[in-house]
Structure 1
Amino acid sequence: MNTTSAAIAAAVTFVWLGMVLAISFLEAPLKFRAPGVTIPIGLGIGRLVFRALNAVEALLAAVVVAAVAVGQPPLSVGVPTAVTALLLITQLAVIRPALNRRSDRVLAGENPPRSRTHLVYVALEVAKVTALLTLGVSAFAV
């Protein structure tokens, strides 16, 4: 892999990793502990924040995939790139729509039954953090 592609992939990956850690594992759980933040208000804020995060993630993923593809990557970079992209696609295409449907119901005043979908999203976030860390280190080491 050429050094320019590896440097771009590593830098963008670590920016992406920082955003996921800050928003998913810091901001998201803390907002519900703030005084006066109700479940509907927290859900509304969360939907807005995660919509923005996911849009930026899609852009960063495209940059990483392009940098890696152009650079003729070794498997140590290609595999975590593919895994990270697949995790993001799964979150955006499968999990987020289900979470949005449930939060729509809550925001409409309903009390839908508990769902494990949020736990699946969190598990995929943990897997994505692991994949991003692996990708960033692997690209940096090239």
Structure 2
Amino acid sequence: MHAASAVAVAVIFVWVGMVVAISFLEAPLKFRAPGVTLQIGLGIGRLVFRALNASESALAAVLMASFAVEPPSTSTGIAAGAAVVTLLAQLFVVRPSLARRSEVTLAGGEAPRSPAHWVYVGLEVVKLVALLVTGVLLLGT
């Protein structure tokens, strides 16, 4: 395995770990902690997801750079592309809606129900599957 491929594998599995730890463990569990109100949970969530998304963006950039050095197979490129496009959809399509809704709630208002949260979760599942497929394909080359 070349250095660029090793970097790509490391990036993918670090990214997988971050998504699983934050999106599927921390996010749902924080609201079950004693004393955590909706406003506190949203405030924490906004900070955590802003940091996660910034880290994911950096990881995606490193992944693309490693692919520029050593181009992946077509199937690996498609799987990685699906993960990156999913991240971009989360950042630029879904997160703005979630941010507007959480701003209302944090200000003490009552925000109407929105499917945006479930869309984000669905995209997290798609992204996680795409990342796992990418990692497995990279390990197989």
State the TM bucket, normalised to the shorter chain: over 0.9
The residue correspondences of 1:80-91 to structure 2 (distance < 5 A) are 80-91=79-90
Determine helix, strand or coil for the equivalent of 1:33. Answer: coil
Aligned partners of 1:52 and 1:4: how far apart in 2? 27
The answer to whether the 8 A contact 1:91-1:121 is kept is yes
Pairs within 5 Å for 1:42-53: 42-53=41-52
In 2, distance between residues paired with 1:107 and 1:128? 28
Partner of 1:119: 118
1:58-96 superposed Cα distances (whole Å, 9 cap, x missing partner): 000000111112212211211111111100000011111
- 2:31 alignment counterpart: 32
Q: Secondary structure at the match of 1:35?
A: coil
The answer to whether residue 117 in structure 2 is matched with residue 109 in structure 1 is no
Distance 1:114 1:72 in 2: 44
The alpha carbon displacement at 1:47 in A equals: 0.2
Question: 1-side partners of 2:73 and 2:41: how far apart?
Answer: 43
Q: State the structure with bigger RCO (CA 8 A, min sep 6), 1 or 2.
A: 1
Contiguous gaps of at least 5 residues in structure 2: none
What secondary structure is seen at the aligned counterpart in 2 of 1:16?
Answer: helix
- Cα distance in 1 for partners of 2:131, 2:64 equals 12
Please list every run of 5 or more consecutive structure 1 residues that lacks an aligned counterpart in the other structure. none
TM-score, normalised to structure 2, is 0.97
Q: 89-98 vs 66-75, which deviates more?
A: 66-75
TM-score after normalising by structure 1: 0.96
SS at match of 1:115: coil
Equivalent pairs counted in the alignment come to: 141
- Does the 8 Å contact 1:5/1:71 carry over to 2? yes
Partner of 1:14: 13
Query: Could you tell me how far apart the structure 2 residues matched to 1:74 and 1:52 are?
Result: 31
Cα distance, 1:113 vs. partner? Answer: 1.2
Amino acid in the other structure paired with 1:34: A
- For 1:86 and 1:17, the matched residues in 2 are separated by 16
Q: Is the 1:68–1:77 Cα contact (8 Å) retained in structure 2?
A: no
Letter in 1 for 2:65: A
Identity score, percent: 58
